[in-house]
Chain A
Amino acid sequence: MYAQMITAEASDEDPKLLEEFQARIDRDEKIEPKDWMPMAYRKTLIRQIGQHAHSEVVGQLPEGNWITRAPTLERKAILLAKVQDEAGHGLYLYSAAETLGVSRDELVELLHEGKMKYSSIFNYPTLNWADIGAVGWLVDGAAIVNQVALQRTSYGPYSRAMIRICKEESFHARQGYHAIMQMAFGTPAQKAMAQDAVNRLWFPAIMMFGPSDSESVHSEQSMTWKIKVRSNDDLRQQFVDQTVPQIEYLGLDLPDPGIKWNEERGHYDYSDPDWSEFFNVIKGKGPCNVDRLNDRTNAWEDGAWVRDGLLAHGRKKAAARTAAE
């Protein structure tokens, strides 16, 4: 089905239907799965929701890396709960994508074949425990800014998934900040680890919002269709504004010398990240791209016999029930 949709041409769509569709969007009506929608709207959503789902699932890997080595039993239980949430978030999003006529297995295959992407941030390694705190605080913090905006997206199932995810996500950011707080207020060595994690993760975190609006390929049409509701730069600014005081509270140095309060704008100025790095990571040349994809593919392939066995068992039971009726 997905393959058919990619090749389908949008040009023969009825202009009247397109106009009515845009009018519904402009009235802030939610578009639901069985409603008519332009092919390009459907395709854009499948790409965006699919990537979002993949990011939740791949995002489990850098954190899963530290479950067995968490410093206390409590931190371990918290991290497990967080990683479990991410699996749930992936599921909500795959379900939302499936309402558009693509199956979860198809999406997973496209990911494994390298034909779909996930958030570039997860191609960075988590080198030590401080990184786990910083990931929860900064990476989930950035994701929340994006996802709160997406609660107002025009596609009903996507919007509902976002609402659900946002409810659970603030636990993620807070547990991360709490972990970093303990280190920042701990021994000088712990504080140095916290500083190092913030320094390394700051620019990758602000890259999560994507390139500047003037260079983002998908922005304009997505804004018109309210698939996106706020621009990349706008969201990034909000993240910077809310995060700088959090860094200052910890007594850590700002990770970017360009961060300065701008009285006139009423916002913090900040330096642009190195976008060539961002595009490199997207192209597969980040520090962990190969490992992440290998881990996903292995988990999928190693689990195949379990999925097949359970399905065969389910079918056998259903057949026995039918025979008994």
Chain B
Amino acid sequence: MSKEWPLWEVFIRGQHGLSHRHVGSLHAPDAEMAIKNARDVYTRRNEGVSIWVVEAQHIAASSPEEKGPLYEPSNSKVYRHPTFFDIPEEVGHM
């Protein structure tokens, strides 16, 4: 069995109420240590108020080869953007 500590991905919520954001990874023997290490490595300058860690092997990711078919459906639906619709100026801000 490998003696290398598992790899964890670290997500941090910044000060201003935004979502947790991926900031990097680290090795740790368990979740508790991963959070402590993340605190030491990724929040040394008040970068965050909340930390999530997840073992890298549990993350499922889309594959780059599927990029075309995966995102194509949104290309053909320009009406999803508000600028698709011309609204008369007289109506005011909408």
Contact = CB atoms under 8 A, between A and B. Distances in A.
Interface stretch (B24-32, B74-82, B86-94): B24-32
Given A91-B26, A95-B26, A104 B64 contact: no
A131 interface: no
B44 A85 contact: yes
A95 B3 CA distance: 17
Contacts of A161: 24
B67 to A, nearest CB: 10
A164 interface: yes
A105 interface: yes
Interface string B20-45: 00001111111001000000110011
B61 A105 contact: no
Nearest to A35: B64
B72 interface: no
B63 interface: yes
Interface of A: 32, 34-36, 81, 84-85, 88, 91-92, 95, 98, 103-105, 160-161, 164, 168, 307-308, 310-311, 313-314, 317-318
Given A34-B61, A95-B24, A164-B24, A314 B33 contact: yes
Contacts of A34: 61, 63-64
Contact of B25 (A81, A98, A310): A98
B5 A307 contact: yes
A contacts with B: majority SS: helix
Given A35-B64, A98-B25, A308 B3 contact: yes
A310 B26 contact: no
A91 B41 contact: yes
B75 to A, nearest CB: 18
Contacts of A92: 24
B54 interface: no
Interface of B: 3-5, 7, 24-30, 33, 40-41, 44-45, 61, 63-64
Contacts of B24: 91-92, 95, 160-161, 164
B5 A84 contact: no
B25 to A, nearest CB: 5
B3 A98 contact: no
A36 B45 CA distance: 36
A313 B30 contact: yes
5 contacts: A34-B63, A95-B26, A98-B25, A311-B3, A313-B30
B30 A307 contact: no
Nearest to A105: B4
Contact of B44 (A88, A103, A104): A88
A310 B33 CA distance: 9
Given A104-B4, A313-B29, A314-B33, 15 more contacts: A34-B64, A81-B44, A91-B24, A91-B26, A92-B24, A98-B25, A105-B3, A307-B3, A307-B5, A307-B29, A310-B29, A310-B30, A310-B33, A311-B5, A314-B30
A41 to B, nearest CB: 15
A34 B66 CA distance: 12
A255 B30 CA distance: 51
Contact of A32 (B5, B33, B64): B64
Contacts of B29: 307, 310-311, 313-314
